[in-house]
Amino acid sequence: MILSTAAEAAMADHVDLRRDVLNGCPWHDVKSMLRDVGLRPTRQRMALGWILFGKGDRHLTAEMLYEEASRAKVPVSLATIYNTLHQFTEVGLLRQVAVDGSKAYFDTNASAHHHFFVEGEDELLDIPGAEVLVGKTPTPPEGYEIARVDVVVRLRRKS
C-alpha cells in the first residue's frame, strides 16, 4: 500500500519535459525526441524508442526490451539493443540504474530519483525524492567532484 502510494507520488512529482512532446502521434514524437538530442532517427532507434517510451515511466533490462521487441516483431539483435540503450543513456533519454554487478536497469524517467529493489522478484520501484535521507556526503578524491548519488534500497518480503 505504502509502496504504491509512494510510486504514484513520485510520478506526480516529477516534471518531465518529454511528456509534453509525447502526446501527439507517437511515431512523430519519437522522431523529434531523437532529433532533439542529436541522434539520427534510424529505423531501429525509432522502433526501440517507440517501445521504450510509449508506456510511461518504467525500468527495463536489455533482455526485457529484447523480448518486447521480439513480441512487437521488430527484428533486432541483443547487441543492437545494448548499443541503443547506451546511446539513449549517453544523451540523457534514459538513466542507467545498476542493481547487481550483472544486472543493469534502464529507467525511462531520467530525472533524479532513488529506487527500491525487490530481491527475488527483480523488480525496481521508484522512491519519491523527499523520502531518501542521504547522510554526510563523502569527500571525493583530489581532482574529482560528485556527479550524483544513487540509492538502491533492497527489499524482501517479511517472513
- Minimum CB distance to Zn ion, residue 98 (Å): 13
Number of residues located near Zn ion, criterion CB under 5 A:
2
Which residues, at least 6 apart from 50, have a Cβ–Cβ distance to it below 8 Å?
26, 27, 30
- Minimum CB distance to Zn ion, residue 107 (Å): 4
Region near Zn ion per CB under 5 A, out of 17-25, 37-45, 85-93, 107-115: 107-115
Cα atoms in the 13 Å half-sphere on the side-chain side of 108? 21
With helix as H, strand as E and coil as C, how does 28-87 read?
Answer: HHHHHHHHHCCCCCCHHHHHHHHHHHCCCCCEECHHHHHHHHHHCCCCCCHHHHHHHHHH
Q: Which of 29, 84, 94, 107 binds Zn ion (CB under 5 A)?
A: 107
Region near Zn ion per CB under 5 A, out of 14-22, 31-39, 74-82, 122-130: 122-130
Q: Determine the angle formed by the axes of helices 62-71 and 78-90, rounding to 10 degrees.
A: 120
- Minimum CB distance to Zn ion, residue 56 (Å): 11
Q: Which of 62, 126, 127, 128 binds Zn ion (CB under 5 A)?
A: 126
Task: Confirm if 142 and 154 have CB atoms less than 8 A apart.
Answer: no
Return the number of the residue (35 or 154) whose C-beta is nearest Zn ion: 154
Asked if 29 is part of the footprint of Zn ion (rule: CB under 5 A), the reply reads no
Q: Which residues bind Zn ion (CB under 5 A)?
A: 107, 126
